[in-house]
Each structure stands twice: as structure tokens, then as C-alpha cells.
Chain A
């Protein structure tokens, strides 16, 4: 089988999808190795869901091609459907039915006979901690329960490839951690997972490789380490006691760290983005030196933290614009030069 030799679960070349004038997906190339969690990271409207929908055979691409385990997603859509499963807010379960009924229904559709379907449904409900809620209509489920039943519905047959489209969006931290545990359990059994997310830390927690996607294009791809190195060592966040001192502090920081300094809406807050070349260790050294200089200049720092790059920062670094696109002039109005001159 060509699948085994290439070792790729997903391979796309120049994938395109247009909706009217918009090119929602604009030439996406992906190579997803089997047996791993592959993260697709991007803001709302970047083209993540459209890409997933095409790969799951729900949308027909307008250009390029894609193979899932060596099967063409258009010509061999049926073979693809036999090996993948999909969980997203659009590919959900029937709200009017109970959790158990939903799972039995889908198990029947996957070819299980009635007794086997019931057994499998009961086992999954048990494993997902939903036994008590089994007889309740899904519309009465909480967000966390809802996401669990969605994922349970996707693994009635262990899929070779599982698409998880923003599985934790809107969940509280506790439920989110539980979804992460589920994803880890699934991938530990050999299933490949394609995970889309808006959160860098989620990709960081789960994925071994990450593609950053923006405006329908892959703008960066690599292992977590590679990606972070390309973005920079992170940011220094400061809170000063006296807002009047902020311009002086900004100037000092800029020189000490050789970094871009951004003033936050909060009048006492400052953020310095460290240069891409700086590794995390040297970042800490730089930050310590900068603190010293601030102290020497008589500037009182109330709060200090050295953070990992956030998705916003990844985006700014990679694209020069931030994740909320329709805000022209935002960067200009906060140009560090203005602050320093003030």
C-alpha cells in the first residue's frame, strides 16, 4: 500500500476553495504524518474549517488536490469516509435525541447490529463519564458534556484519522483539560489527529507539528520548537507604579532588550517583544538586565513577567498584522516611536 510507504495520513497540494470573491483556502500544502497530532493554528476565518471540511469530503475543492491515506478526496470520497471521523460544531449530534440514542444511531449507521451498537454506545458513555446523562436529550447537556458526546460519536469505530475542529473553543479550563486527555488517549492508540485551534497553548500541549494558517495560506509550518524559534523568545510584560514614567521606561527597555516595545491600553503596562534570535535563556538574562536599568533610573516596577509568545505575537511576527484583521491602524497608533517621542 502506498499509504504505508509514504507514511502520510494527509497530503495536500495547492488546495483552493473560493466562496464568491473570497479565497477561503488559497493554495494550502500540508503533509501530515500518520500516528501524530497535527495542529492547524489560526484565527477565526483563516480557512481552518474550510480545509477540514474539504479533507473530510464535505466540501469539494475548487483547485489543487488532496489525498487521505493515499485516497483522492474527490474521486475516492467513499474510501476516505470509511477511514476518517469528524468532530466540529457543524458536525455534531442530534440535539433532540438522548446521548445514548445518538450513539446507537451512529453505530447502526456504521454497520453494527443492534445489540453490538447498544453495547458499544454504553461502553463509550461509561468511558466518557456520561452514563448518568445517557437518557437525557443532548440539548440539555452542558458545553463540556456536549463536546464529550461529539467526540464519542466520532470514535464509535476507531478512526484512522480524526478531525477535531476547534474542540475546546468555548469550554472552561477543566473541560478543556479533559478534552486534551481524550485526544492524548486517542492518539496513543495509533489514530492520527488533525486538530484545528485558535490557541497556541493548545497546539503546544497536543501537537507534534503545527501549521500556522492565515487568510487561506500556510504561513509557517514545523515542529513546535522550530515554530517558536522563528517567532521569538516571547515577551516581557511590565506594570509600573507611575504612569508618568512609562515613556522613559519604554525607551530604556527598547535599548536594553533591543526589542520592539508596545504600550498597552492600561496606562501603566508595557510589553517588550524579544527578538526572534534570542533564545529563552538569553531572554531571561536580557530581562534581568533591563530590570536593573529600570531600577537604577528610579522607575518602580510593580509587576514583571516573561511570557511565551501568544498567538497574537506569533501572528504579528509572521504576518505583520494581528489576529483581529479588520482593525487598520491599530499598530500605527501604538507605534513605539510615538511613545518615545512623547
Chain B
């Protein structure tokens, strides 16, 4: 026992208090970072985490591929005659659905950070308060982009063709990522509000399943009963799916794009302040 202890702590170099003293003498402080710079730094942290824990990309790679394959072959024959024809309709929608579903992991990562104890360090820093949250969302925007690219690739292998070309596809993805960024403020709120990771997951499921399934992602809402149509036609996910579908098909669905942007603004304006209130009060 006594022989292992010295070798173990011997591996750890001693603290050099003399050089520490020299470092502490410097009392000047650089000016505080701008809101943008602080947010980008937190975004960089999210990227570093992806680098160290690449498994966390599972939900933006394997999960979306599964979604595309599953629904194309499950519903394709019944709803559109063949999977190949169905995917032309389904792909933009399933893209929207999967990415919106993936957003709920934001709440889980916020909650985990609180548990792990890095959170209070950030909260004690003299920086623009929302930058921590914006940082999470910037990192997540990258994940959403990865998911979109993965799904598009799979879709194209299965026969999806975007008439809107590269510009249409890029515009569609940009709108989707923007909406997801705004929508995620719901999850930052829950991540701060709920006590455990499990409860965050549970509540997220309750919100995300009805919201994404009760939309025009799979079928035309005209086949639904009237009361459901009323909900589906006004759901933000429906507007987003129509807008993305239109953009990728080479149209300019101005109304749907406007609705999507309106919903996005609403999400930020309502859940942003609630999140920040919880963040400051935590």
C-alpha cells in the first residue's frame, strides 16, 4: 500500500507557488466579451463536447435514418401507391418532424449541466446572461444541420428529387434550423424548471409527440375530422412542414414562411424571458 501511494501522487507534479504568485500579480482584466463573442464561445463548448462524446451524434444520424426508412416503407404503398412516390411528399415533412423531435435533447443537456456542477460557474461569470443558453442552441443548430444533411442523403438514395435545387434545399434547411433554434427555448425552460433528466424527457415527450404527429407531415389534413383539421392547420409544425416542402419543391410559399417566422418569434419572445428568469432565479 505505502509503496503505491508515493508513485501515484509522484505522477502529479507539485504546485509551483512561485510561478503561481507571478501569475496572480497581473491584476489587469481584459474588457468583457461581447454578447456575440460569449455566445459563440459557449457554442464552441458544445462543439468540443461533440468531439469528446461523439456518441451523442447518434440521435442526429441513426435516428433520422431510421425515421426516413421506417415511414417511407411503412406508409408509402398505402398512402401514395409506392414508397418512391411517397418519399417525394414525405421527405421534407419527416425532416421537419425528426429535427423538431431532436430539439428536446436541449432540455436534457441543460439539466445535466446543472446536475454536474459546471452551471453555477457560468452563472457566476460577468457575461451577457443569455449567452450560456444561446450557446447550447448554437451547438444544437449544428446538430440539426447534420441531421438534415443525413436525411436528405438517405432520401435522395431512396429517390427523392428536390425541384427547388440546391437553393431551395438550403432555404428549407435554413428555415428549419431557425425554427428549431427558436422552438428550443421551450426546452431550455423545462431543463431549468424540472428537477431530473427523466422528468425533462417525460415532459418533452408529452409535448413533442402530439405536436409533430398531429400535423401534415404524413398525410393531407383534408382526410382528418374537422376538429382535428382545426388544430393541424394551425400548428406551427404544419406551417413549417408546408414551408419547407414548398421551398424544396422550388416554390415560394410566402404565407407559410411568414407563419413559421411568426411562430419562431413568438417562441423566443415567450420562452426566452421565462428561461432567463429561471436562469437568474435558479
Chain A contacts to B: CB under 8 angstroms: 53, 56-58, 60, 78, 81-82, 84-86, 88-98, 101, 105-106, 108-113, 116, 120, 123-124, 126-133, 137, 142, 144-145, 148, 153, 155, 157-158, 174-175, 178, 181-182, 184-186, 188-189, 191
* Set of chain B residues within 8 Å of A98, measured between Cβ atoms: 52
- Looking at the assembled complex, report how far the CB atom of B151 sits from the nearest CB atom of chain A, in whole angstroms: 27
Are A158 and B27 in contact, CB atoms less than 8 angstroms apart? Answer: yes
Are A127 and B15 in contact, CB atoms less than 8 angstroms apart? Answer: yes
Are B24 and A92 in contact, CB atoms less than 8 angstroms apart? Answer: no
Nearest B residue to A86 via CB reads B124
* Set of chain A residues within 8 Å of B120, measured between Cβ atoms: 53, 58, 86, 88, 90-91
Are B21 and A109 in contact, CB atoms less than 8 angstroms apart? Answer: no
Are A129 and B13 in contact, CB atoms less than 8 angstroms apart? Answer: yes
- Looking at the assembled complex, report how far the CB atom of B129 sits from the nearest CB atom of chain A, in whole angstroms: 9
Cα A90 to Cα B24 in complex, Å, equals 24
Are B25 and A110 in contact, CB atoms less than 8 angstroms apart? Answer: no
Cα A116 to Cα B28 in complex, Å, equals 13
Is the C-beta of B125 less than 8 angstroms from some C-beta in chain A? yes
* Set of chain B residues within 8 Å of A131, measured between Cβ atoms: 13
Cα A302 to Cα B126 in complex, Å, equals 59
Size category of the B interface is 35 or more
6 A-B pairs within 8 Å (CB atoms) are namely A86-B120, A94-B113, A128-B20, A145-B12, A182-B17, A191-B24
Are A182 and B15 in contact, CB atoms less than 8 angstroms apart? Answer: yes
* Set of chain B residues within 8 Å of A142, measured between Cβ atoms: 12
Are B126 and A78 in contact, CB atoms less than 8 angstroms apart? Answer: yes
Given known A-B contacts A109-B33, A112-B30, A182-B20, A129 and B14 have beta carbons under 8 A apart: yes
Are A106 and B24 in contact, CB atoms less than 8 angstroms apart? Answer: no
Cα A82 to Cα B24 in complex, Å, equals 16
- Looking at the assembled complex, report how far the CB atom of B110 sits from the nearest CB atom of chain A, in whole angstroms: 13
Cα A185 to Cα B17 in complex, Å, equals 6
Q: Given known contacts A82-B29, A82-B126, what 15 new A-B pairs fall within 8 Å (CB)?
A: A53-B120, A57-B124, A95-B118, A96-B52, A96-B53, A106-B121, A111-B30, A124-B23, A127-B23, A129-B12, A129-B15, A144-B12, A145-B12, A153-B121, A182-B17
Of A88, A120, A130, A189, chain B has the most CB atoms within 10 Å of the CB of: A189
* Set of chain B residues within 8 Å of A132, measured between Cβ atoms: 11, 13
Cα A85 to Cα B13 in complex, Å, equals 25
Are B117 and A105 in contact, CB atoms less than 8 angstroms apart? Answer: no
Q: For chain B, residues 16 to 47, give those with C-beta under 8 angstroms from any C-beta of chain A.
A: 16-17, 19-21, 23-27, 29-33, 37-38, 41-42, 44-45
Are A158 and B26 in contact, CB atoms less than 8 angstroms apart? Answer: yes
Cα A111 to Cα B17 in complex, Å, equals 25
Nearest B residue to A80 via CB reads B126
* Set of chain A residues within 8 Å of B119, measured between Cβ atoms: 90
* Set of chain B residues within 8 Å of A57, measured between Cβ atoms: 123-124
Cα A129 to Cα B10 in complex, Å, equals 11
Given known A-B contacts A109-B33, A128-B20, A94 and B118 have beta carbons under 8 A apart: yes
A-contact 0/1 string along B88-115, CB 8 Å cutoff = 0000000000000000000000000100
